[in-house]
Chain A
Amino acid sequence: MLIENTVAAFGAVLEIKILLLMALGVLAGLIAGAIPGFTITMAVVLTLPFTFGLSTIEGLSTMIGVFVGGLSGGLMSGILTGIPGTPSSVATTFDGFPMARKGRPGLALGIGVWSSFLGGILSAVLLVTLAPQLARIGLEFGPWDYFSLVVFALTITASLAGENLTKGLIAGALGLLVATIGEDQINGVARFNFGTDALKQGFAFLPVLVGLFAFSQLMSDVQDTASARKPLMEKGAKAVRVEHLAAVRAIAGRWVNLVRSSLIGTFTGILPAAGGSISNILAYDQAKKASRTPEKFGTGIPDGIVASESANNATAGGALITMMALGIPGDVVTAVMLGALLIHDVVPSPSFIGDQPVLAYSIFIAFFLANFIMLGTQAIALRAFLLVTRVPMYSLAAVILIYCAIGVFSLHNVEFDVWTLFWFGLLGYTMRVLGFPLAPMILGVVLGNIAEINLSRAVAISDDLTEFVTRPWSLFFLTIAVFSAIFPWYQRARGHKPWTLVFMPLLCLAVAPPLVMMGGVPRPTLGGLLVAGGLWLFWQRARSGWKLEPPVEHRAHLEET
């Protein structure tokens, strides 16, 4: 079955037109990812309008190309100028830039490119093998479980999105509220349309997303006149020859780091809301801890680049696993992907891979191929990037603004969508200025309908609301939602407040009961192990006299992957 579907998907994707579209997408992603101030999300959002006229496979392949390219693009500016193109490649600069300054920019770029490629390929393999398994687990979910999963996704997004959890949660609730405007999907009753016909249909997803994210981002980019008028990069980057052979040799001797970082990246991506901006730092930190020479990290050693770049590309595969198997976006970029699928009348869910195997596997294959294309087009992208960096931001912003309007209009050919773009652009910018993270709001808009439909189904099946805490999966998601809500306080207080010492042991003990309730053998065993782990942590801390240890600072931010 797996082989049959894979072969059929290869047949669907291996068309000249799709490969060309993917190559264009990867190139666009590489260049956009390399420009500081541009984000991968923005690149994917701006690609979406071009995909309306394409078939589902063509459109999604193009967007996956942009996604993969964007994740790899950040390394170019990070290594050559010390300014990471995207938050996903922040840790790349720690060693990439020093290596370039030591006179080996070609080697640094080579290690970055090949680590990105290999991290992507490893996560593609995991995507093909894990997504159908996760979908099988997803088939166990009832509406209660789905509702609780959405609650967890929104909570973790809010807790990772910024300094202030309350603001993150408010943004998430606002997103859910936006999704309620217009006719409700269950009863067909108009809500909050205030007597207008235009609002009866509700807001289309794309104009809301482009307005909230791209429009407001552009306004932030041009806020300061002096910096908006300067070229994108003042520290001029010079063209270098990528040392492929030396890079492959360097990575071959660090394959353990590569595999570990790719796994960290993939599993970070699987978590709803956690993206490449987190995984690259986590992987770098783990590589440093595992190294025999941790003091050399930050001085320009290959290990630092391998860890960061393999992890951030692997995150894409992880995020796609969750989206494909459960219909829940793994991060903001996959939220856009989910929106694109919905525009093409495809609704990912646990039955999606079984019902539409060719399309599902085509997405897997497109992700796989995009990594090869990224490898082949990096040299071209590097030259294009050097040209683009001479352009001032205000020129790009003005042109992209009108492009947003044209793209949004082309969705339904109605002016109302352009007005939606304007109002949500204004709202997004205001929220940015006031310090509200936008990622929870975007996820709220995407997940609002899913949450409402599942709540309605749950109540229709049984009016016993205790089902939300007596069903194992629902209880599992609600438990981790509570812990993820406390996480920002834990992160802030770690090493200073005694209660933080019981956070992790309690988490282990709290998630164990739902796993035991699931029945079978593996899950109760895992639950038992977690109980043992939790008790061991308690014992360890008691033995050390509940001594507070200074934390390692890695404050993760989801916003603007």
Chain B
Amino acid sequence: MRRLNRDTIVAVILLLFCGVLFAASLRIEETTYATIGAEVWPQLILALLFILSLIYLFQSVRAAPPAAATEARPGFLARYRNAIWCYALFLAFLLTLDIFGMLLGGILFVFAALTVLGERTPRTIALHAAVAVVSVGAMWAIFTYALRVILPEGMLLSVW
């Protein structure tokens, strides 16, 4: 079987996405007073996106199948390891924002991200901790005291 290239898969996903959103656009409330309904503009864009995705699909199918790799390439997880870690840590930061708040959560995030991305010797870990505390502390202070923004305090700090 001919190997599907990445663009073909993306084009199919885009076509499915168009279908789902078009179905959702049919449920947009219709008003009697509008000269042009609220659903018209999104449907126009979806029609355009659908046509473009079809062209993209056609182009990807017509393109030569990806050549067999001549040299060893790292796998998906290895290639995007750092990005996956960062997104996972950021997700954890968001999910625990109500508990740790912006200050503690931010420090923990920066420390964890630095430690995951950088070297992990006792010296660098200590340096990462210092960078996390100073950088997030400084930003938190600027936004809280200079710009008067009330950042999430978190349950831990509010109890304490």
Contacts and interface: CB of A to CB of B under 8 A. Distances in A.
Interface of A: 50, 52-53, 166-167, 169-170, 173-174, 176-177, 180, 184, 186-187, 189-192, 194, 218-220, 222-225, 228-229, 392, 394-395, 397-399, 401-403, 405-406, 409-410, 413, 415, 418-419, 422, 425-426, 429, 433-434, 451-452, 455-456, 459-460
Given A405-B93, A426-B87, A170 B52 contact: yes
Interface in B77-113: 79-83, 86-87, 90-91, 93-94, 97, 102, 106, 109-110, 113
Contacts of B83: 219-220, 222-223, 429
Contacts of B86: 218-219, 222, 397-398, 401
Q: Is the interface of B mostly helix, strand, loop or mixed?
A: helix
B82 A228 contact: yes
A498 to B, nearest CB: 23
B38 A402 contact: no
B152 A173 contact: no
A399 B131 CA distance: 8
Listed from nearest, the 7 A-B pairs whose CB atoms lie closest are A398-B113, A394-B117, A189-B38, A410-B149, A460-B35, A219-B83, A173-B49
Contact of B48 (A173, A399, A422, A426): A173
A2 B33 CA distance: 44
A194 to B, nearest CB: 7
Contacts of A419: 94
B69 interface: no
Given A177-B46, A229-B118, A392-B118, A187 B152 contact: no
Most buried by B among A53, A166, A426, A429: A166
Given A176-B45, A222-B83, A401-B90, A413 B149 contact: yes
Nearest to B109: A402
A180 B21 CA distance: 11
A459 B40 CA distance: 12
B139 A402 contact: yes
B60 to A, nearest CB: 10
A53 B148 contact: yes
B29 interface: yes
A177 B97 CA distance: 30
Nearest to A181: B42
Nearest to A419: B94
A191 B56 contact: no
Interface residues of B, number: 62
A229 B119 contact: yes
A303 to B, nearest CB: 42
Contact of B91 (A174, A218, A422, A456): A422
Contacts of B34: 186-187
A53 B147 contact: yes
A422 B94 contact: yes
Contacts of A433: 80
A192 B151 CA distance: 29
Given A166-B55, A173-B48, A402-B106, 12 more contacts: A166-B52, A189-B28, A222-B82, A222-B83, A225-B82, A399-B110, A399-B136, A401-B109, A405-B106, A406-B102, A413-B149, A460-B36
A394 B143 CA distance: 24
Contact of A459 (B36, B148, B151): B36
Nearest to A449: B41
Interface in B123-160: 131, 135-136, 139-140, 143, 146-152
Contacts of B21: 177, 192
B62 interface: no
B14 A170 contact: yes
A379 B93 CA distance: 39
Contacts of A402: 93, 106, 109-110, 135-136, 139
Nearest to A463: B35
Contacts of B6: 434
B114 A406 contact: no
Nearest to B118: A394
A392 B127 CA distance: 13
Contacts of A194: 24
B52 A403 contact: no
Contacts of A170: 14, 49, 52-53, 56
Given A170-B49, A225-B81, A460-B36, A395 B93 contact: no
B143 A406 contact: yes
